[in-house]
Structure 1
Amino acid sequence: MAWDEWEQIKADAATRQSTPMRLNQLAPAAGGGGVSAPDLASSPAAKKAAAKAIGEDLEPGVEREGGHAAEQTKSTVKEFGPKDGYGWDTSGALKRAHKTWEGQIKMLLGRLASEKELLSETGTSFRNNDLGIAAQLTRQSRIHGI
């Protein structure tokens, strides 16, 4: 990198630091923060569809494929296991790896269930927040005589 390029980079960085950040403006049309607007499920219908997809596609698929993998792993562990007092080290390693994997599957299913529930409850949470804020404002207005 040439010296003049380095000087230009430093000057650009100094300009960015001295320019104040404006928070009172609209986000760019493509969205901000690297998140594109079409991917954001913000409507009640989109959230309901996402919760339905988790419940009808993802959770059953994870359980089905997890069960299939469990069967295959158990048969492999048995095949490599001790016969006549001797077995392969692979059997024990597979058994331990499978135990870890089963724990990860359980955590994934728990996370999916949690996300599904949160997607389903979002509208209620927003409504309850709005009602709580309205109640606070009403109390404050009586105290201050507004």
Structure 2
Amino acid sequence: MAWEEWERLKAQAAERHATQMQLNQVEPGMGGAPGAAPGSYGDLRVRQADLARIGEHAFELFDRLSNKGRVAVPSSRQAAGDLTRQGFALGGGLQHVAGRWEEQLDSLRDACAHISNHMRVTTKLHQGDEHYISRQLSSIDVLDAGFDERVVKPGDKNPVYMPHKEQKDD
């Protein structure tokens, strides 16, 4: 396929996509009941373990891309140099492909690193929020217990909060 043909096909595809209407809803049978309120689908829940797992997978992908994604680059660059020295125009093309491969690989590795770091930071932030909320709630319990101790001895319930029993006179 020639470059001009590729550009023409891309332009046609973009033109077809620009003239289509896109509805802001899920197709029937694609999840959720038609016409159902969004609240009926349930709440979004994210657990710390889920975030940590996403971060771990992103880090593993980053490592694999670093170790295995560059294997062909040195030999491709060497072949490109050899072809260029021998007078083949293909050498310049191969050099360009190897350079683009490295650029795209670096971009993908950066995205994986960003996801991994973001999940790690998000996990720490949420843990900090959980600890803060726990401390605030425990301080309310301590404060509430202090009010009870002023009226009665420690450990006994405040009679203000207990229902009064009617005494029977015999």
> TM-score, normalized by length of structure 1?
0.54
Q: Which residue of 1 aligns with 2:62?
A: 59
8 A contact 1:47–1:119 mirrored in 2: yes
SS of residue matched to 2:72: helix
Q: Which residue of 2 aligns with 1:25?
A: 39
SS of residue matched to 2:40: coil
Q: Rate the CA distance shift 1:23–1:122 in 2: closer, same or farther, 3 A.
A: farther
- RMSD, matched Cα: 3.3
- 1:92-116 per-residue CA deviation (whole Å, 9 max, x = no partner) reads 0111122122111111111101000
Q: How does 1:52-131 map to 2 (within 5 A)?
A: 52-55=56-59, 57-83=60-86, 87-126=87-126
- Which amino acid is 1:123 matched to? T
What is the CA-CA distance between 1:127 and the residue it aligns to?
A: 6.2
Overall identity of the aligned pairs, in %:
14
Q: Which has the higher helix share?
A: 1
- Which amino acid is 1:98 matched to? A
- 1:69-103 per-residue CA deviation (whole Å, 9 max, x = no partner) reads 212211321331213xxx11110011112212211
Greater RCO, CA 8 A, separation 6+: 1
Q: Following the alignment from structure 1 to structure 2, what is the Cα–Cα distance between the partners of residues 112 and 52?
A: 10
Q: Following the alignment from structure 1 to structure 2, what is the Cα–Cα distance between the partners of residues 122 and 67?
A: 30
The structure with more radius of gyration: 2
- Structure 2: gaps spanning 5 or more residues: 1-34, 133-170
- Which amino acid is 2:56 matched to? K
- Structure 1: gaps spanning 5 or more residues: 1-20, 32-39, 132-146
Count of residues in Structure 1 that have an aligned counterpart in Structure 2: 99
